[in-house]
């Protein structure tokens, strides 16, 4: 007994000590990655005069929730915009873009991968070409063309529903589903709509999850388009509002950081719940894109 | 079924894109009672050669190139290093995986504001305090964002912090695809860790590495949000040392109401992105073939 366990234990111990440098590397990089987040949280809790006072921001004994109360009272009039409004705008825009985008883009991908229609090949080619047009390249002309729609909710939503990358990701996923499955359903008399909603869509949950997460991340952080189109405080999404809030004089940095914490909590919660999908979604966008 | 997506893509990608080319040939302004005059390629000639305009535009282009030249190798190498660190399934590694990915869910506008406070000049900022502490006061306080020499570097650091986790996840997925038999075979041949890295890991993920590098390069060209927030929202950023092509396009359109010139900048921006995308496609295709 002893002769067999002793070497085994030795190997285990050797393995563990071999991991010490590994853990040190993880901890050092981990600390560097966490430091800015820790600073944001600390600054949101520290007294206003300690936000920009070096390490004093981490003095836990002085922490409190006054910045959170402050941000709620600073942003509570029509001229500054109401705190709840910024959240309502960001939630509405993100949910609408993600939800409608999933429906519209997966339908298009299904039609392109499964149905026979005139112009199919050209449309597919055109969508592949649109994949390389970054939003930044069309932001300026869109600012001019849709100027009449400035300060509306719909101009923050509608332009981002149709998405070439989403169509492409759905298209690659659907193309991997054996055709025998929809042919069998066709034999049973199901039409294309029924095959799509009852068979293809339910089989493609991973694709829906990936696209939902990628769209959600981009949309929640969207900044360039709101800068160009939104000046009305009641229609400002969160990222635009935090830049406005940070630019006001005199700056209330503790409150700005409290606003930052509130802004990022919903994404972190979604991230923690759907972590596996986040990571697979990001990875799949690269493998296929 | 493809109709809604196709119509949306036409209205919000294809038409604005063609309009950008059209606008760039005229002196278009918002709310201008006069009809725009045809100017041919005058706008392009101006941004590249007019001494009053080109200096600013060319410096913006240069900043994008410096940004890309630093961010692409540094961020790719860092992301690969992190991916290797979290690839081993040792206890607790999942926490670090999430930790490195965490900044990716932060809107870049918020990231810019957090870092603006960390990098604050004088001894108020956390970075200056930390440097003074660890060097025993030998290292004097810097104005990281305001100084011409460190402004762009500061923006680069905060951009890498935010974006690195995204690339890490993509590279991690690729690393997990490398067959473990290859590592075992290399170990039998007495290859050390470094040799295994050079002869097994790198060839195994070459396609993904090329993809990540070029993808990061395109992202480097699109940089806008952090520059705009830091320059316009009381960040004290040295604008002259950090302006980017997209920043030029937006300020030309928004601050100067010069849609024609802003469109010309957008078109130039797009041409550069297309060239890089084509290189990317070719490079990844060659590797696969």
Contacts of B250 in chain A (CB under 8 A): 139-140, 224, 227-228
Nearest CA in chain B to A49: B124
The per-residue b/e assignment along B76-105, b for 16 or more CB within 10 angstroms, e otherwise, is bebbbebbbbbbeebeeeeebbbbbbbbbb
What does the pLDDT average to over B7-28? 92
Does residue B22 lie in a domain region? no
Tokens of B143: 């104005």
Q: Where do we find the tokens 């959240």?
A: A87
Does residue B53 lie in a domain region? no
Contacts of B188 (CB under 8 A, 6+ apart): none
Residues A157, A93: Cα–Cα separation, whole Å: 6
**Would you call A130 and B9 a contact, using CB atoms and an 8 Å cutoff?**
yes
Residue A5: what pLDDT? 47
Phi and psi at B88, nearest 5°, equal -65, 130
**Would you call B106 and A130 a contact, using CB atoms and an 8 Å cutoff?**
no
Chain B interface mutation, best of A28, A49, A141, highest count of B Cβ atoms under 10 Å? A141
Measured distance between the N- and C-terminal CA atoms of chain B, rounded to whole angstroms: 35
Provide the CATH number for the domain around residue B213.
Answer: 1.10.3720.10
Outline where DSSP puts E strands in chain A. 76-77, 81-82
Q: Is the pLDDT of residue B59 over 90?
A: yes
Convert the pLDDT of each residue in B83-102 to its tens digit. Answer: 999 988 888 888 998 899 99
Give the percent of chain B with pLDDT over 70.
98
C-alpha dist (Å) from residue A109 to A115, A126, A212, A253, B197: 10, 13, 15, 46, 40
Q: Which residues of chain A have pLDDT under 50?
A: 1-6, 289
Contacts of A282 in chain B (CB under 8 A): 104, 166, 169-170
B38: β partners: B26
The average confidence (pLDDT) of chain B is: 89
Convert the pLDDT of each residue in B249-278 to its tens digit. Answer: 999 998 889 999 999 999 999 999 888 888
Q: Is the pLDDT of residue B32 over 50?
A: yes
Does residue B169 lie in a domain region? yes
Residue A285: what pLDDT? 63
Reading phi first (left if > 0) and then psi (alpha if -120 to 50, else beta), residue B125 is in beta
Contacts of A17 in chain B (CB under 8 A): none
Number of separate helices (H) and strands (E) present in chain A: 16, 2
Residue A289: what pLDDT? 44
**Stretch among A190-194, A284-288, B133-137, B237-241 having the lowest mean pLDDT:** A284-288
**Would you call B12 and A142 a contact, using CB atoms and an 8 Å cutoff?**
yes
Most confident of A246-250, B104-108, B127-131: B104-108
Number of domains chain B is built from: 1
Does residue B31 lie in a domain region? no
Does residue B168 lie in a domain region? yes
Please, is A77 exposed, middle or buried when counting C-beta atoms within 10 Å of its C-beta (0-12, 13-18, 19+)? exposed
What fold, for A79-288? MetI-like fold (1.10.3720)
For CATH 1.10.3720.10, list the domain ranges present in chain A. 79-288
Question: CB B135: neighbour CB atoms within 10 A?
Answer: 10
Does residue B17 lie in a domain region? no
Chain A interface mutation, best of B11, B15, B16, B142, highest count of A Cβ atoms under 10 Å? B16
**Would you call B8 and A104 a contact, using CB atoms and an 8 Å cutoff?**
yes
Evaluate whether B43 touches B50 at the Cβ level (below 8 Å). Answer: no
Contacts of B182 (CB under 8 A, 6+ apart): B200, B204
* Distance in Å, alpha carbon of A167 to nearest chain B alpha carbon: 9
Residues A222, A239: Cα–Cα separation, whole Å: 7
Does residue B3 lie in a domain region? no
Residue B51: what pLDDT? 85
Contacts of B8 in chain A (CB under 8 A): 104, 158-159, 161-162
Does residue B162 lie in a domain region? yes
Please, is A136 exposed, middle or buried when counting C-beta atoms within 10 Å of its C-beta (0-12, 13-18, 19+)? buried
What does the pLDDT average to over B21-39? 85
The DSSP string of A173-221 is HHHTS-HHHHHHHHHTT--HHHIIIIIIHHHTHHHHHHHHHHHHHHHHT
Residue B2: what pLDDT? 85
ipTM attached to this prediction:
0.90
Evaluate whether B110 touches A239 at the Cβ level (below 8 Å). Answer: yes
For B197, the domain range is: 60-288
Phi and psi at B25, nearest 5°, equal -95, 0
Residue A181: what pLDDT? 85
**Would you call B250 and A227 a contact, using CB atoms and an 8 Å cutoff?**
yes
Convert the pLDDT of each residue in A26-82 to its tens digit. Answer: 999 999 999 999 999 999 999 888 888 888 888 888 898 999 999 998 888 888 899
Residues B163, B184: Cα–Cα separation, whole Å: 33
> 3-state SS string over chain B?
CCHHHHHHHHHHHHHHHHHHHHHCCECCCCCCCCCCCECCCHHHHHHHHCHHHHHHHHHHHHHHHHHHHHHHHHHHHHHHHHHHHHHCCCCCHHHHHHHHHHHHHCCHHHHHHHHHHHCCCCCCCHHHHHHHHHCCCCCCCCCCCCCCCCHHHHHHHHHHHHHHHHHHHHHHHHHHHCCHHHHHHHHHCCCCHHHHHHHHHHHHCHHHHHHHHHHHHHHHHCCCHHHHHHHHCCCCCCHHHCCCHHHHHHHHHHCCCCHHHHHHHHHHHHHHHHHHHHHHHHHHHHHHC
């Amino acid at each position: 007994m002893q002769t067999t366990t002793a070497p085994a234990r030795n190997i285990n111990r050797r393995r563990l000590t071999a991991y010490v440098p590994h853990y040190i590397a993880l901890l050092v990089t981990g600390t560097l990655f966490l430091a800015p987040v820790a600073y944001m949280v600390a600054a949101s809790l520290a007294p206003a005069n300690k936000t920009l006072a070096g390490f004093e921001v981490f003095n836990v004994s002085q922490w409190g929730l006054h910045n959170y109360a402050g941000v709620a009272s600073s942003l509570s009039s029509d001229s500054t915009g109401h705190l709840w409004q910024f959240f309502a705008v960001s939630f509405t825009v993100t949910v609408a873009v993600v939800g409608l985008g999933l429906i519209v883009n997966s339908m298009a991908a299904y039609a392109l991968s499964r149905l026979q229609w005139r112009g199919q090949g050209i449309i597919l080619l055109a969508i592949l070409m649109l994949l390389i047009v970054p939003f930044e390249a069309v932001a300026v002309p869109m600012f001019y063309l849709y100027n009449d729609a400035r300060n509306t909710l719909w101009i923050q939503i509608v332009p981002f529903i149709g998405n070439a990358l989403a169509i492409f990701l759905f298209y690659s996923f659907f193309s991997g589903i054996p055709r025998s499955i929809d042919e069998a359903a066709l034999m049973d008399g199901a039409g294309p709509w029924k095959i799509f909603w009852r068979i293809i869509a339910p089989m493609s949950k991973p694709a829906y999850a990936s696209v939902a997460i990628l769209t959600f991340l981009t949309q929640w952080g969207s900044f360039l388009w709101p800068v160009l189109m939104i000046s009305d405080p009641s229609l400002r999404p969160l990222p635009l509002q935090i830049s406005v809030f940070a630019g006001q004089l005199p700056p209330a940095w503790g409150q700005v950081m409290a606003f930052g914490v509130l802004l990022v909590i919903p994404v972190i919660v979604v991230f923690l719940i759907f972590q596996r999908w986040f990571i697979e979604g990001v990875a799949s966008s690269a493998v296929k894109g | 079924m493809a109709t809604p997506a196709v119509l949306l893509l036409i209205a919000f990608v294809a038409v604005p894109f063609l309009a950008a080319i059209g606008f760039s040939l005229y002196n278009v302004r918002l709310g201008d009672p006069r009809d725009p005059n045809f100017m041919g390629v005058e706008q392009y000639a101006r941004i590249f050669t007019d001494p009053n305009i080109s200096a600013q535009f060319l410096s913006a282009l240069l900043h994008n190139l410096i940004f890309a030249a630093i961010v692409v190798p540094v961020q790719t190498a860092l992301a690969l290093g992190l991916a290797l660190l979290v690839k081993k399934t040792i206890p607790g590694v999942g926490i670090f995986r999430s930790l490195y990915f965490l900044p990716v869910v932060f809107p870049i506008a918020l990231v810019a504001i957090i870092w603006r406070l960390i990098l604050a000049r004088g001894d108020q900022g956390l970075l200056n305090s930390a440097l003074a502490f660890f060097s025993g006061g030998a290292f004097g306080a810097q104005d990281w964002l305001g100084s011409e020499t460190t402004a762009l570097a500061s923006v680069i650091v905060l951009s890498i912090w935010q974006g690195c986790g995204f690339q890490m996840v993509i590279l991690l997925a690729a690393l997990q695809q490398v067959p473990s038999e290859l590592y075992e075979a290399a170990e039998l041949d007495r290859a050390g860790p470094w040799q295994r890295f050079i002869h097994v890991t790198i060839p195994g993920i070459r396609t993904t590495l090329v993809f990540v590098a070029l993808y990061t390069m395109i992202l480097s060209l699109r940089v806008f949000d952090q520059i705009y927030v830091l320059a316009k929202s009381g960040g004290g950023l040295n604008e002259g040392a950090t302006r980017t092509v997209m920043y030029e396009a937006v300020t030309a359109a928004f601050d100067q109401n010069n849609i024609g010139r802003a469109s010309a900048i957008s078109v130039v921006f797009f041409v550069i992105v297309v060239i890089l995308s084509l290189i990317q496609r070719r490079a990844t295709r060659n590797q696969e073939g």
